[in-house]
Chains A and B, each alone.
Chain A
Amino acid sequence: AILQRESGRERLKRHREEVAGRVLIPDTWGQEGLLKDWIDYSSFDNLLAPSGLMSARESLISQDGR
């Protein structure tokens, strides 16, 4: 019975109870100005398909096989 710290689950549960009903999601998110850019595919696609990706994959595979 010595100061047993609250477990993560209990803490989340308590937090949920405390904040429920008092949650105010702010009017602005802060990234509204970027929404228009994100309709366009190219900026995302360049990031998800960076050049050199295939070499990087191959290298990782062959290194593992060494």
Chain B
Amino acid sequence: MGIVKTIVWFRRDLRIEDNPALAAAAKDGSVFPVYIWCPKEEGHFYPGRVSRWWLKQSLAHLEHSLKSLGAELMLIKTDSTLATLVECINAVGAAKVVFNHLYDPVSLVRDYNIKEKLVELGISVQSYNGDLLYEPWDVYDESGHAFTAFEAYWNKCLHLQMEPVSPFPPWKLVPASGTVKNCSVEELGLEDELEKSSNALLGRAWFPGWSNADKALTEFVERHLLDYSNNRQKVGGNSTSLLSPYLHYGELSVRKVFQYVRMKQILWAKEGNSLGEESINLFLRAIGLREYSRYLCFNFPFTHERSLLSNLKFFPWNADQANFKAWRQGRTGYPLVDAGMRELWATGWIHNRIRVVVSSFAVKVLLLPWRWGMKYFWDTLLDADLESDILGWQYISGSLPDGHELQRLDSPEIQGSKFDPEGEYVRHWMPELARMPTEWIHHPWDAPLSVLKASGVELGFNYPKPIIEIDLARERLIEAIFKMWEMDAASRDANSDVMNEVVVDNSDGTKNLAIAKVVENSGGTENSSIPKVLLKERIPCPTISSNDQKVPTVQNSKHYPFYRKRSKYMEGEKPLPGDLHKHNNEAGTSRTDEDLRSTAESSSTKKQTTSRNTFSVPQLSYSSEDNFFPVYDSSDLKQPWQEQINMQQSSNKDVTGVSS
């Protein structure tokens, strides 16, 4: 046992087991665990009400556990995290600070600045991976590029070697003595007086804290994992793992989850239990999506030129506060949406599919600014998590190559019959519709008057009429998309001097690492062009970790002569009808969407012809499936766009979200 005194800075790693920072510090000598609450530094992403409630319970839990191990957790409320850390260092005489990585942009910059300052002060700082199976820079394709689609990313992950879990937490912590101004959990002010009554509901439904996370994991794996494949589609009831809030606050090690499930997989494979194997694959995918959310945020960070959901930059939102309120309160007249919003408020958690349904409804049916929806989720979801939430909003809004197209508008009526076929979920949350026959439960507005009467439903009185008819909503969405394209093209004309170039971001003075910012030059829905990010230039051996070559470099246009090729190809494309043609002429001559083309495996792709693959670029292996830009697909030219959109209704590939 050494004599090093170490400050262990807890953040979103509120656990004892498989906590690399805590383990390293305990091994070196004495520890001084702190949790620093600095609302001022949280800014826009100040945790919402329910998230703070969870945090409060979880901190109390951790405090108790650390005390049992011999060290007291210092809870400190401050205006400056850095100043508080320095205060702790001085009070203890510590030579070292350790913590586990966070990957969201806000934390990244804060951690970096703090690290720099502490090093200047002669303090040793070490950070660890406590949140992911794989670091975001350790997973890349054969040419060293970051993946831009989930399937390829996850397949790669499953073939990589992983850091094993350290199976035992420290038996005993040697406390480093020192006096700082700390406070009680209550005094951190995580819960306002006004919030307590709403939060009381949550206390009846959830048990935060790492040991409860362990129990939840064990119960899920031993009793519910086997049927996950059958049950995960059910939007009501306990069909999924319910682990997402625990994972968000690091109360559960994701590596532990993975290893536990892997052991089951081996066991079930031996028994020939194919249902079990299928369930495990699906559950691990859900874990993979959480990994992927960090991966995308880290490798394709938002810059001023490429902001979050920048493909919607010119979208003409309908900033109608009354509509927003109707959405928030579950009074849209669409039973599945309304049930979801009520469950969200009452429990702080909803099934991933319901998240997709209600968020799509806000953006595509009501045309509400997506930030409104995101902020409401942020405030009401127990597992509110920046990266996962970003992934979710990108997924529904046409910002991901393997997500929904922007123009895809699913009817809640059809979704209801698919995901809540008996109407149980709706009846559960909507007592006013409890007596409605299943036939009409997802579209009461179509029900005969006699049925409505017999069910005690009076539309417009005890249950609202649809806030907008779905066909009208579809028309408006299409109008909005056209408007967006026009604005987009106009803006590009105004900035035509930067067109057809790949601009390298050196604004931070980091020449090695940059996002090759492909100028937003593409037409239509795809101006979210995902740039290329090179993670490994040369790869001596693709699956074994070798960190010596880890110097990312910028890809610039010289390496990609095929940009030009693609342009020619586009020019030679068959003329597009009407507005699409006009739009293509304005904007379609410099598409650089090759990354986006690499993956999508969604529904309407099977009709894709092979002709476009002629233009595949050697270092990328395109799949032949490519429907991210359906309006440009040659096969689509034969049919009116409206038909195309209708066809997409049948797609049911909802993969996003991390509410596993």
Q: Would you give the 0/1 interface string for A31-66, flagging 1 where the beta carbon is closer than 8 Å to chain B?
A: 110111011010111011111111111111111111
In whole angstroms, how far apart are the Cα atoms of A12 and B313 in the complex? 40
Least CB distance from A62 to B in Å reads 7
- Expressed in whole angstroms, the minimum distance between the Cβ of B281 and any Cβ of chain A is 22
> Is B580 an interface residue, CB under 8 A from the partner?
no
* B461 at the binding interface (Cβ < 8 Å): no
**Looking at the complex, which one of B44, B237, B317, B547 makes contact with A47 (CB distance below 8 Å)?**
B44
Could you say which residues of chain B place their CB within 8 Å of the CB of A49? 105, 301-304, 307
Chain A residues within an 8 Å CB radius of B45: 47
Is there an interface contact between B346 and A54, defined as CB atoms closer than 8 Å?
no
Nearest to B330 among chain A residues (CB) is: A25
Query: What 1/0 mask marks residues of chain A from 6 to 30 whose CB sits below 8 Å from any chain B CB?
Result: 0111011101101111010101010
Among the stretches B77-85, B371-379, B396-404, the one at the interface with A is B371-379
Q: Are A53 and B105 in contact (CB under 8 A)?
A: yes
Establish whether residues B347 and A15, one from each chain, have CB atoms under 8 Å apart when the complex forms: yes
A41 to B45: give the CA distance in the assembly, Å. Answer: 15
**Chain A residues in 8 Å Cβ range of B301:** 49, 53-54, 57
Q: In the bound complex, what is the Cα–Cα distance between A61 and B537 (angstroms)?
A: 14
CB-CB under 8 A for A15 and B510, given A38-B369, A53-B105: no
CA distance A36 to B324 in the complex (A): 12
Are A15 and B321 interface neighbours, CB within 8 A?
no
Contact B201 A19 (CB under 8 A): yes
Asked whether any CB of chain A lies closer than 8 Å to the CB of B439, the reply is: no
How many chain B residues touch A (Cβ–Cβ < 8 Å)?
A: 75
Query: A8-B207, A8-B216 in contact; A54/B514 too (CB < 8 A)?
Result: yes
A7 B307 Cβ-Cβ under 8 A = no
CB distance from A4 to the nearest CB of B (A): 12
A27 and B343 alpha carbons, distance in the complex (Å) = 16
**Which one of B112, B219, B220, B347 contacts A16 once the chains associate, using CB atoms below 8 Å?**
B347
In the bound complex, do residue A35 and residue B372 qualify as a contact, i.e. CB atoms below 8 Å apart?
yes
> In this complex, what residue of A is CB-closest to B507?
A54
- Asked if A43 meets B109 with Cβ closer than 8 Å, knowing A12-B238, A65-B550, the reply is no
The reply to whether B509 and A55 form a contact with Cβ atoms under 8 Å apart is yes
**A58-B510 Cα distance, complex, nearest whole Å:** 8
Q: Contacts A9-B216, A25-B345, A53-B109 given: A38-B372 contact, CB under 8 Å?
A: yes
B371 near A56: Cβ-Cβ < 8 Å: no
Residues of B near A9 (CB, < 8 A) are 216, 219-220, 224, 238, 242
B434: chain A residues within 8 A (beta carbon): 21
Q: How far is the CB of B49 from chain A (nearest CB, A)?
A: 9
Known: A12-B205, A53-B301, A56-B109. 4 other contacts (CB 8 A): A13-B237, A15-B204, A52-B113, A53-B105
A positions within 8 Å CB-CB of B: 7-9, 11-13, 15-16, 18-21, 23, 25, 27, 29, 31-32, 34-36, 38-39, 41, 43-45, 47-66
**A–B Cβ pairs within 8 angstroms, 23 of them:** A8-B212, A8-B242, A9-B216, A9-B242, A11-B205, A15-B347, A16-B428, A19-B347, A20-B431, A21-B428, A38-B369, A39-B319, A47-B105, A49-B105, A49-B304, A49-B307, A50-B109, A51-B109, A51-B507, A52-B113, A55-B112, A56-B109, A59-B115
